[in-house]
Amino acid sequence: MNRLSLAIAALAALFLSPFAAQAQTLPDLGGKTVTVVTENAYFPLQFVDTKTGQAVGWEYDAMAALAERLNFKVEYKNTSWDAMIQSVSDGQYDIGMTGITIKDERKEKVDFSDPYMLSEIFMLVRADETRFADPKAFAADDKLLVGAQAGTSPFYVAVYNVLDGNEQNPRIKLFETFAASVAALQAGDVDLVLTDSAGGAALVKASGGKLKMVGDPLQSEEFGFIFPKGSDLVAPINAGIAALKSDGTFDAITRRWFVDYKP
């Protein structure tokens, strides 16, 4: 089995069988409107489909399923990654979703849902890359550049797991979005982008043979939705996540975006 097949199989294994649990009684939010903010720049979790111009992805389908089960309406807003956590912390939005890694330091500002996805950080490179296949070899060649989005898990893994721990290292080229860093990789402007296994598997599949993941996972992480501290939405959303895992809904959404989707 190749790396892409292994990654897809690992994703599928994260979600329980649709026959694993009986129907559950879930909280009813009474049709209230919930404001959800996202970045629309993290394929395939949430992005703008170039064919339709519509914002789509795994997280959109997951949120739609939660809204249906818990009886609430979703109003979507958009913001940049660097404003995401603070704006939710300030109460501008009810929920934030953009592949946000659950971290203790972030919990000081926002509440997290239970994890909805487990992923691992991999090295994403061009398919013809032969100069390195692990962090040590990359770090040893000071001509090689890594693209990253400031303040994200891939940025910190690049700093502390691949390079020398210097967050100002000139070998790290910063981009406004994850998609921009991948475009720079494909254009040859940088030599490496770090990606979670979920997004990386989909990017490799969508690249038509132009990208590949190399090496062992550098870090494991869990994704969660974020809320203002003390939000009364956390418990209902957690109940919904558990139900959608157990009845196979998340499994079906994962297959749609990580296996079947054709850009």
Reduce the secondary structure of 139-203 to three states and give it as a string: HHCCCCCEEECCCCHHHHHHHHHHCCCCCCCCCEEECCCHHHHHHHHHHCCCCEEEEEHHHHHHH
Residues 205 and 228 in one domain: no
Q: Which residue has the higher pLDDT, 24 or 122?
A: 122
Smallest Cα–Cα separation from 231: which of 81, 148, 105, 109? 109
Q: Can you give the pLDDT at residue 261?
A: 79
Residues 112 and 124 in one domain: no
pLDDT: is 221 or 252 the higher one?
A: 252
Are 104 and 7 within one domain? yes
- Per the prediction, the chain carries an average pLDDT of 90
Q: How confident is the model at residue 262 (pLDDT cuts 50, 70, 90)?
A: confident
Are both 107 and 171 inside the same structural domain? no
| Residue 84's CATH number | 3.40.190.10
**pLDDT value of residue 202:** 84
Flag whether the pTM goes above 0.85: no
Domain limits for position 99 = 3-116+224-260
Which band of pLDDT confidence, cut at 50, 70 and 90, is reported for residue 260? confident
- pLDDT band for 106, please (50, 70, 90 cuts): very high
Q: Which residue has the higher pLDDT, 253 or 263?
A: 253
Residues 69 and 186 in one domain: no
Do residues 177 and 244 both lie within one domain?
Answer: no
Q: Is the pLDDT of residue 4 over 50?
A: no
Distance CA 97, CA 72 (A): 16
**One domain for residues 27 and 65:** yes
Residue 96: predicted pLDDT: 98
Percentage of the chain modeled with pLDDT above 70: 90
Q: Are residues 112 and 234 in the same domain?
A: yes
The residue among 220 and 67 whose pLDDT is bigger is 67
- Whether the pLDDT of residue 23 is over 50: the answer is no
pLDDT-based confidence at residue 205 (cuts at 50, 70, 90): confident
Q: Provide the pairing of β-strand 146-148 with 32-38.
A: unpaired
Which pLDDT belongs to residue 17? Answer: 39
What percent of the chain is predicted at pLDDT more than 90? 75
CA separation (Å) from 105 to 81, 83, 112?
Answer: 16, 16, 12
Q: Are 105 and 175 in the same domain?
A: no
Strands 41-42 and 46-48: antiparallel
Residue 19's pLDDT is what?
A: 37
- Find how far residue 255's CA is from the centre of its chain: 15
Same domain assignment for residues 110 and 239: yes
More confident residue, 47 or 17: 47
Looking at residue 161, what DSSP letter applies?
I
Distance of CA 16 to the CA centre of its chain: 20
Same structural domain, 104 and 125: no
Q: How many domains does the chain have?
A: 2
Same domain (yes/no): 231, 109 = yes
